[in-house]
Amino acid sequence: MNNKGKKSGWERPAGENLKREAGYYAAGMVEDGMVVGLGTGSTIAYAMERIAERIQEGLRIQGIPTSYQAEIRARDLAIPLTTLEDYPELDLAIDGADQVDGKL
């Protein structure tokens, strides 16, 4: 029997795929030695997963979580953390947006 065109098993909703792509894109902007602000949300979760993978590949960064939830997630993924007291200027901040003004 030909399964061409049939969906098999669970498939991620299209919106979730876009969130993953956006998160991975943001993670790709992180460069070695950066201090990175780590936000909260489903899109950022994908970015943090990819950053953690890159750290295992040799990337060296310091993360500054913007919330307790982001701190817990970063620690679970073994992303090295620091504070704004130690690094008052960030090289990059990654966070999500619930809404965007269409006039931007």
For residue 15, report the phi and psi dihedrals to the nearest 5 degrees.
Answer: -60, -35
Give pLDDT tens digits for 17-55: 999 999 999 999 999 999 999 999 899 999 999 999 999
Q: Please indicate, yes or no, if residue 102 is contained in any of the structural domains.
A: no
Q: Is there a domain that residue 50 lies in?
A: yes
Q: Assess if residue 7 is contained within a domain.
A: no
**Structural domain range at position 85:** 15-94
Q: How many structural domains comprise the chain?
A: 1
Burial 25-53 (b: 16+ CB within 10 A, else e): ebbeebeeeebbbbbbbebbbbbbbbbbe
Would the pTM of this model clear 0.85, i.e. be above it? no
100 domain-assigned: no
Residue 55 lies in a domain: yes
Asked if the model's pLDDT at residue 67 lies above 60, the reply is yes
pLDDT of residue 13: 66
Q: What CATH number is attached to the domain comprising 61?
A: 3.40.50.1360
The tokens of 67 are what?
A: 């919330």
